[in-house]
Structure 1
Amino acid sequence: MPLPNFGQILRALDRFTRHEQVVLSALAVVIGGIGGGSAIAFREGLGAVQLLFYGFSSERVVTFIAYVAWWHILAVTTLGGLAVGLFVEFLMPGKRPLGVADVMEASALKGGRMSLTDGIRAALVSAVSLGAGASTGREGPVVHLGASVSAWVAKRLRLGRALSQTLLGCGVAAAVAASFNAPIAGAFFALEVVVGHYSMTAFTAIVISSVTGTIVSRIWFGDFPAFIVPEHQIASFLEFPAFAILGLVSAATAIIFMYSIEISAKVASKAPGPAWLRPAAAGLAVGLIALVFPQVLGVGYEATDTALRGQYALWMLFG
């Protein structure tokens, strides 16, 4: 049987690449790699900022902060807040931080379009804030950065609205999966929160990106779970109603917490003085709290692990 010539191979590749699902799957692999790389870059950048501020680079802040002087903690949280305030005031669009809500808005109202420059700026602000000790969470900035990079790729390829939204979901899935080492969580977060539907086209691409992002993360950091959940044996079916009640209580707690954040933001917006000074005041407050409860500093993974093991009193969790 004669081998195909070069022209036949090119024609076969041309027919192959005209299939939208094939092209989207290939793009999903690329976006997954880029999204995973973005999550790695953010974590390493956060570690560098933390090393600069505190002299150590670790998510186990509670363990290492005990060796840092009290005045050092107050100075870092206050000056870090000041740096964030100045950055947001003079470099961020709308003079406000960016996060997951902006990704949802881009998907729903802007056809998946986002600014890569704004994404990088938002990541820098978040890295400084978290590195200084603000417990603002690592996942929001990683989601925004992954979405910004995927939106930039979609723009360069001049993709339509539907494909751009799908790639946005791919970037988010890869970023979440790489951050938590959890491909299933990354995929469903992107489908539920960003894309908003479960079409087979979007589902396939997002799962591919999520798995790719996880692989990239595991190559760099190793295969370690974000949280170590203690094993629990169900002794009786009577426990299931208790789980349902626990779900209701947890949901109510989350809702109350979200409302408390909104109320705090409104109160802070009415504080006297320029807006760029408010993060410095907040940083000082965080530093003072951290002198008694160091668990409030940083990404909070160590404190979450301790809570999952049931080693905190209930009053401390609500305090």
Structure 2
Amino acid sequence: MRNDQLILGGLALVVGLTVGFGVVLFREAIDYVQALYYGSSDEHLASVARALPWYWVMLAPVVGGLAVGIFYKLLMPGRRPLGIPEVIEAAAFKGGRMPVRPGLMAVVGSALSLGAGASVGREGPAVTLGAAVSAWLAERLHFGRSLSRVLLGCGAAAAVAASFNAPIAGVLFAHEVIVGHYAMRALAPVVIASVTGTMVSRGWFGDFPAFMIPTIHQVNVWEFPAFAGLGILCGLVALVFMHGIVWGEKAAERSRLPRWARPAVAGLALGVLAIWYPEVLGVGYEVTDNALSGTLPLLFLTACAAAKIVATSVSLGFGFGGGVFSPSLAVGALVGGAFGIVATSAFPELSSGSGAYAVVGMGAVSSAVLGAPISTVLIIFELTSDYGLTIAVMVAVVIANVVTAQLGGITSWFHWCLERRGLRIGGHEVRLLKTLRVRDVINPDCLTVHPGTRLKTVREYLQRTPYAELFVVEQKDGRFIGTITLADLSEAAFDPALDDLVNASDVCRRDAPMLEADDSLERALNTMLDCKEEHVAVVAHEETRKFVGCVHESEVLLAFNRALMEARAEERGDQKGPATPF
């Protein structure tokens, strides 16, 4: 065994311990802030709110929103809080690198938001915390891209496992959502981190499941058409849920309110809604448990699901910090419970109870939002230990994901966030091309001429260069002017009479394609395909056009092939494959 795996195992243990205690501290911070606003740190915030005067319930989120807005303005001016989309971006495009301080500040902002009662999730900030810790450690140890991504997965796994008391789901979530593929090299350290994070959480909070799952009667085989129908409904609800958040963001932009004031406005809307439906406050674990118990009436379930979607849309759209996991679980449980009441009333002798449908709905909506069907199914199985019910969840999860992908073109809320910013997560090979940079394959020794070079010299250079292409560059400032090929010379290529009358500036192609050194190899290949050029100039920046070298299509393909071989070796756990430096 190579020392790399031993070192990774030890670091995974460190990450698991650090993130586990970080999640504990994060949850304790939420409780402390909540006690300031509502007079109690009880996780059952809806019950706490019912005992308070209506004006208190309405104003607490407003004051909390104002505090969140001021915090972001002072400590994160002009920056959006980091979340799981940024963690995925770091793993897919940045070799596991992400800014540490903004990540930690985002976690603090989320604690302030959740303590104020914002309708957001705490699992997303926990993953951001785990990723920030891992990124800091990888940067300090000067890890390469591959090992940095593995550590990023360790941080995410430990965070999810500590949040849900579900170590298996933490492992699957890290591979499915963050790393993006299942690599044998990453499996052992991710498992170590996930189990360690779970042990820390259990040691502090006790070995209790995240939700109180009631005893489910045996699932009847004749119920599966109903579970399939619930999957369709949950897919549609997931689309409404995600589009609602986008609507909230657009409404915030149209309001032209300063960013620091937006969370307070969201707090006012949330407070007014909480007067009638206090269940919209916070992560929603209490209302999720109640929906799973099968004791809530149909009208309340449907109204509360709609209220929770509105509350989450306003909270996230107007600037509260937090995630989407817990709200999607709550909405799914409410929708599933309502569907279960209807199904049970239609076929009471076949039904396993509305609580079973709430469990299925919880899994279906959250999986469609997260784009993590396998992880979601594993979370449900770890929570219920019910094989029959897990099969029902699998059916609904698959159908819900198909509905969101086919009708909405959305495979994941996190991927959709990145796509709206121009970052598209493709397959594993595409992500490799996006990770590699032009500067990694640049050739600085390209043959260049200055604009005043005579035609005779240009012709001689073209015959000497292997690619029959010259780059015209200003001598004074190194500014790229254009390119010259034999085709660009036209008649001048064979007319000696023009040797002293024409120079490089006269015959060069000034609209020639160029790349920046920081461009991805994906863009390099697309540029070469679009312009049908195999040899392209590289500049430091498009504005300055300072020439730094050139890149050939063959070098791009060779670099991609090497990276692909390394990735395949990593997935197989091949210790003899191409090594990735620490």
- Please report the TM-score for the alignment, with normalisation by the length of structure 2: 0.50
Per the alignment, residue 149 of structure 2 pairs with 165
Identity %: 53
Pairing of 1:222-237 with structure 2 (within 5 A)? 222-237=206-221
Q: Distance between the aligned counterparts of 2:15 and 2:77, measured in 1?
A: 25
Residue 318 of structure 1 corresponds to 306
User: Could you tell me which residue of structure 2 aligns to residue 61 of structure 1?
Assistant: 45
Q: Tell me, yes or no, if the aligned pair for 1:35 and 1:213 is still in contact at 8 Å.
A: yes
Whether contact under 8 Å (2:81, 2:103) holds in the other structure is no
Deviations along 1:91-124, one digit per CA (max 9) or x if unpaired, are 2264322211111111111111122221221111
In 2, are the aligned partners of 1:81 and 1:283 still within 8 Å (CA)? yes
**Separation in structure 2 between the aligned mates of residue 291 and residue 43 of structure 1, nearest angstrom:** 25
Match of 1:89 in 2: 73
For 1:315, the aligned partner's letter is: T
Superposition map of 1:186-197 within 5 A:
186-197=170-181
Q: Secondary structure at the match of 2:196?
A: helix
Aligned equivalent of 1:120, options 93, 98, 104: 104
Which deviates the most, 167-176 or 68-77? Answer: 68-77
Residue 94 of structure 2 is aligned to residue 107 of structure 1: no
Name which of 272, 277, 284 aligns with 1:300. Answer: 284
SS in 2 for 1:289: helix
What is the CA-CA distance between 1:210 and the residue it aligns to?
A: 0.6
Question: Quick check: which one's helix share is greater?
Answer: 1
Give the Cα–Cα distance (whole angstroms) in 2 for the partners of residues 304 and 57 of structure 1.
Answer: 18
Q: Is residue 143–residue 172 contact of structure 1 (8 Å, CA) maintained in 2?
A: yes
**More relative contact order, 1 or 2 (CA 8 Å, 6+ apart):** 1
> How far did residue 125 of structure 1 move?
0.7
String of CA shifts for 1:25-79, please: whole Å, max 9, x gaps. Answer: 1111111111111110100111111111211101111122222222222222111
The residue that corresponds to 1:252 in the other structure is 236
Aligned counterpart, 1:80: 64
- CA deviation after TM superposition for structure 1 residue 158, in Å: 1.1
Task: Give the CA deviation at 1:293.
Answer: 0.4
Which secondary structure does the structure 2 equivalent of 1:111 belong to? Answer: coil
Distance of 1:101 and 1:248 partners within structure 2: 26
1:283 corresponds to: 267
The yes-or-no answer on 1:134 pairing with 2:118 is yes
Moved more, 197-206 or 88-97: 88-97
1:38-49 aligned within 5 A:
38-49=22-33
Q: Confirm or deny: 8 A CA contact 1:169 1:194 kept in the other structure.
A: yes
5+ long unaligned stretches in structure 1: 1-15
Q: Is the 8 A contact 2:119 2:284 kept in 1?
A: yes
Contact in 2 for aligned 1:177/1:183 (Cα 8 Å): yes
What residue identity is the alignment partner of 1:194? I
- Give the 3 Å change call, closer, same or farther, for CA 93–205 of structure 1 in structure 2: farther
Are the counterparts in 2 of residues 116 and 148 from structure 1 also a CA contact under 8 Å?
yes
RMSD, aligned CA: 1.6
Q: Which amino acid aligns with 2:89?
A: E
Distance 2:81 2:102 in 1: 10
**What stretches of structure 1 move > 6 A for 4+ residues in a row?**
none
Distance between the aligned counterparts of 1:143 and 1:235, measured in 2? 34
The residue that corresponds to 1:4 in the other structure is none
Find the aligned partners of 1:207 and 1:254 in 2 and give their Cα distance: 30
Q: What is the DSSP-based 3-state SS (H/G/I as helix, E as strand, rest coil) of the residue aligned with 2:221?
A: coil
Q: 1:181 to 1:312 in 2, by over 3 A?
A: farther
TM-score by length of 1: 0.90
* Pairwise CA distance, 1:249: 2.1
Aligned to 1:153: 137
C-alpha distance in 1, partners of 2:221/2:256? 56
Structure 1: distance between partners of 2:297 and 2:25: 33
Unaligned runs of 5+ in 2: 308-582
- Determine which structure has the larger strand proportion and give its number: 2
Which range moves more in the overlay, 108-117 or 27-36?
108-117
C-alpha distance 301-239 of structure 1, shift in aligned 2 (>3 A): same
Q: Which amino acid aligns with 2:263?
A: P
Which residue does 1:9 correspond to in 2?
Answer: none
Distance in structure 1 (CA, Å) of the matches to 2:227 and 2:4: 44
Q: Whole-Å Cα distance in 1 between the matches of residues 261 and 219 of structure 2?
A: 54
